[in-house]
Amino acid sequence: MTLPPFELGTGGLLLDAVRAVAVAGLLSAFGSLLFLLGQGRSSVERPIRHVGWASLAVAAAGLIVWVVLESATLAGWDQAFAALPEVLWNTEFGHLAGWQALALAIAAIGLACRFGWLAATAAGVGVILETGRLHAWAMQPSITPLLVSEALHLLAAGAWLGGLLPLRIVVRSAPLDEAIAASRRFSRMATVAVLVLAATAFWQGWVLSGGWPGLAGTAFGWMELAKLVLFLALLACAGFNRFRFTPALAGADAARGRRALGRSIAIETALGVLVVCAAAVLTSLPPGMHVQPVWPFPMRPSLTIVNADPGFRREVADAVLAMVGALVLVGLGIVVRWIRWIAWLAAVVIAWFALPHFDLLFVEAYPTSFYHSPTGFAATSIADGAALYPQHCASCHGAEGRGDGPAARGLRIPPADLTAEHLWAHSDGEMFWWLSHGIVSAEGEVAMPGFSGTLTDQQIWHLIDYVRANNAGITERTTGAWTPPVQAPGLNASCPEGRTLTLAALRGQVVRVVFGASPFPQPQHASAATILLVPPDAPAPPEYCIARDPAAARAYAIVTGSRDRPPVGTEILIDANGWLRAALAPGEEGELAAEIKRIAAAPLPPHAGGMENMHHH
């Protein structure tokens, strides 16, 4: 099993530990003050208030040490205290720390003056401010659904976990009637909090980890899974408290029920602290969605095989029906006792024969199987790959990639046809692995050598971009269409008034990329943005956006299937989501308006075709 790299952010475990203490204090302050507000006048009010004071003190102390550590991280330990004013006044972290300190001070005033709502609300504000240090705000500093989800997650955690210590005090020390009422009231609130926690944790974890590859192949995903295990243990404790130990308080042996519930709450509190620690580590790790996942297993899920043959699809469908039948038999055995063992035995036999057929849903995997190209399919990377291809690949794969190079005749295993449609069934990561480490046949024979000792990782990515662009260009040249759909190569253009424009900035409208030189296309089309590809030294009218980089012209020549620069006036139309849609030869200007109208009315989805797994900027 290949393990993902585990690299904490600046500050390491010490900073994460201090972060965990500060956040645990905030959550405990909010939860205990909320519990005190709901409890009203109580025989154990004083110790609960002590928990509130202690929580505020822990939060304040943790926040102070956290600020000092951040200052030391930025300026060094010898200048840590000298840099404190700069950190507090001129960094977003310092601003958040100041607002949280103010919230804690107001909460302390409310607690001292017995203004319960003020104390609990101020502590809740301090908890919400913590979202300013989480990934949602770092990715997009505005109020987004993900940020709201993180705020609800923290508030629910504080209400549930922060109320455990006061609940234990009530259970252990308050009169029995009061303990029963408090336990039932807390159970109802905790049920709501658990539902909010589960929903927000699932959504945040899935989005931030980047799906299954990120969960299985990044340090962030592994910590998410560890946090999930701890959360499930917390749920188990909460379930015992709700359905076993709380009812036991009203039973015949109330003293024993108190002890059991108190122990369970203590375990639940300890697990809650571990969850907060895991969350602190998660905050210092880059989200899995921003990391190349290292797939740890020899196989990975894929529909490639079942999509290739209707017979395979029927085989998997039959296996699914068989497993459904096995589950029905298991349920029948639970309901009807006299046939239980016969039904369960039959279910085991059915599952034994059905499970092997699910192997069709898996293909061989590599550590890089879920890597995404970091190039954004840029024109510069395609052009660089085009320069590398003749030196390293053409001798076997041929000038156009058809597997007919001069060295191919001497090979027992024929080189792959890089112009075939099946190229798009392979992910970026698979192609990266093959180019880096080579391909070995089932018999152990080297079918293709790897280039990891010859080319850099960047050059390998550039080769992959060129191979895809070349495949797309040959398909367009022979069929008149890009099938499957292909993203337009990224480029930069210089526009009037000194503006620099990227192709990505034009998403949302149709774009014309025109191979231009005098005479220039006139006039510009009102329904589409126009970019001229002009040689470096050629004149160009000032009213156009101009791309003079030879790499841009080279890349667009490749994706249109031209070995050389296409004729002047050749136009390539790109839809609102960045997909190549049409190539018009000089003299077809009469079709331009109709083509633009057609493309504008029906842009392809943002994720479509053979490049849906590629990472574009």
Q: pLDDT (tens digit, 9 = 90+) per residue, 31-49?
A: 999 999 888 777 788 999 9
Question: DSSP assignment of 286-299, as one string?
Answer: PPGGGS-----SSE
CATH of domain 492-611: 3.40.30.10
**CA angle, 308 then 309 then 312, to 5°:** 115
547 pLDDT band, cuts 50/70/90, is: very high
How many other β-carbons are positioned within 10 Å of the β-carbon of residue 99? 14
- Yes or no: say if 511 and 563 are a contact pair by the CB < 8 Å rule: no
User: How high is the pLDDT of residue 616?
Assistant: 40
Question: DSSP assignment of 232-289, as one string?
Answer: HHHHHHHHHIIIIIHHHTTSS-HHHHHHHHHHHHHHHHHHHHHHHHHHHHHHHSPPGG
- 92 Cβ contact list (under 8 Å, min separation 6): 132
Radius of gyration of the chain (CA): 32
Summarize the confidence of residues 337-365 as an average pLDDT.
93
Worst-scoring range by mean pLDDT, 105-119, 388-402, 430-444? 430-444
Each residue's pLDDT tens digit, 581-595: 999 888 776 688 888
Half-sphere exposure of 507 (CA within 13 A, CB side): 13
Fold held by 12-290: Formate dehydrogenase/DMSO reductase fold (1.20.1630)
- Yes or no: say if 327 and 350 are a contact pair by the CB < 8 Å rule: no
For residue 515, the surrounding DSSP H or E stretch is strand 510-515
**CA angle, 569 then 572 then 573, to 5°:** 130
Each residue's pLDDT tens digit, 454-476: 999 999 999 999 999 999 999 99
Q: Cα(266)–Cα(272) distance, rounded to whole angstroms?
A: 10
The β-bridge partners of 490 are 378
User: How high is the pLDDT of residue 11?
Assistant: 67
- Yes or no: say if 14 and 37 are a contact pair by the CB < 8 Å rule: no
Task: Report residue 236 as tokens.
Answer: 């188990």
Q: Cα(274)–Cα(227) distance, rounded to whole angstroms?
A: 8
524 pLDDT band, cuts 50/70/90, is: low
Worst-scoring range by mean pLDDT, 114-123, 237-246, 482-491? 237-246
Q: Phi, psi (5° rounding) for residue 531? A: -125, 125
User: How high is the pLDDT of residue 9?
Assistant: 65
611 pLDDT band, cuts 50/70/90, is: low
Q: Is the pLDDT of residue 543 over 90?
A: no
User: How high is the pLDDT of residue 517?
Assistant: 61
Q: Where are the domains of the chain?
A: 12-290, 299-364, 379-479, 492-611
**Cα–Cα separations (whole angstroms), residue 34 to 45, 50, 61, 160:** 13, 14, 21, 10
325 pLDDT band, cuts 50/70/90, is: very high
User: How high is the pLDDT of residue 58?
Assistant: 96
Summarize the confidence of residues 96-112 as an average pLDDT.
95
Q: Cα(522)–Cα(541) distance, rounded to whole angstroms?
A: 11
Q: Phi, psi (5° rounding) for residue 341? A: -70, -35
- 214 Cβ contact list (under 8 Å, min separation 6): 208, 220, 221, 287, 288, 289, 291, 293
User: How high is the pLDDT of residue 275?
Assistant: 94
Q: Cα(535)–Cα(546) distance, rounded to whole angstroms?
A: 10
Summarize the confidence of residues 299-311 as an average pLDDT.
87
Q: Is the pLDDT of residue 159 over 50?
A: yes
Dihedral sign, Cα of residue 316, residue 321, residue 325, residue 330: positive
Q: Residue 409 burial by CB count (10 A; 0-12/13-18/19+): exposed, middle or buried? A: exposed
Q: Cα(338)–Cα(357) distance, rounded to whole angstroms?
A: 32
- Yes or no: say if 324 and 251 are a contact pair by the CB < 8 Å rule: no
- Yes or no: say if 580 and 587 are a contact pair by the CB < 8 Å rule: no
Each residue's pLDDT tens digit, 109-131: 999 999 999 999 999 999 999 99
User: How high is the pLDDT of residue 253?
Assistant: 79
Of 342, 347, 313, whose CA–CA distance to 330 is shortest? Answer: 347
The β-bridge partners of 529 are 511
Q: Cα(20)–Cα(63) distance, rounded to whole angstroms?
A: 10
Higher pLDDT, 466 or 177: 466
Summarize the confidence of residues 408-426 as an average pLDDT.
89
Summarize the confidence of residues 392-421 as an average pLDDT.
91
Q: Is the pLDDT of residue 576 over 60?
A: yes
Half-sphere exposure of 386 (CA within 13 A, CB side): 26
How many other β-carbons are positioned within 10 Å of the β-carbon of residue 205? 21
User: How high is the pLDDT of residue 117?
Assistant: 94
Pairing verdict, β 500-502 and 510-515: unpaired
Of 54, 24, 28, whose CA–CA distance to 120 is shortest? Answer: 28
User: How high is the pLDDT of residue 327?
Assistant: 95
Q: Is the pLDDT of residue 422 over 90?
A: no
Summarize the confidence of residues 66-89 as an average pLDDT.
86
**Cα–Cα separations (whole angstroms), residue 196 to 151, 189, 202, 232:** 11, 11, 10, 14
Summarize the confidence of residues 515-534 as an average pLDDT.
71
Give the relative orientation of helices 457-479 and 550-559 as an angle to the nearest 10 degrees: 50
Q: Is the pLDDT of residue 550 over 70?
A: yes
For residue 189, the surrounding DSSP H or E stretch is helix 176-209
Q: Phi, psi (5° rounding) for residue 545? A: -85, 130
Q: Is the pLDDT of residue 614 over 60?
A: no
Pairing verdict, β 580-584 and 510-515: unpaired
197 pLDDT band, cuts 50/70/90, is: very high
User: How high is the pLDDT of residue 180?
Assistant: 87
User: How high is the pLDDT of residue 613?
Assistant: 45
User: How high is the pLDDT of residue 341?
Assistant: 92
pTM reported for the whole predicted model? 0.82
Q: Cα(594)–Cα(597) distance, rounded to whole angstroms?
A: 5
User: How high is the pLDDT of residue 105?
Assistant: 97
CATH of domain 379-479: 1.10.760.10
Q: Is the pLDDT of residue 617 over 80?
A: no
Q: Mean pLDDT in the chain? A: 89
Q: Is the pLDDT of residue 525 over 80?
A: no
The alpha carbon of 506 is separated from its chain's Cα centroid by a whole number of angstroms, namely 25
Of 228, 218, 227, whose CA–CA distance to 7 is shortest? Answer: 218
- Yes or no: say if 471 and 419 are a contact pair by the CB < 8 Å rule: yes
Task: Report residue 420 as tokens.
Answer: 């075939």
- H helices within 295-449, ranges in order? 304-308, 310-335, 340-354, 379-392, 394-397, 428-437
- Yes or no: say if 4 and 292 are a contact pair by the CB < 8 Å rule: no
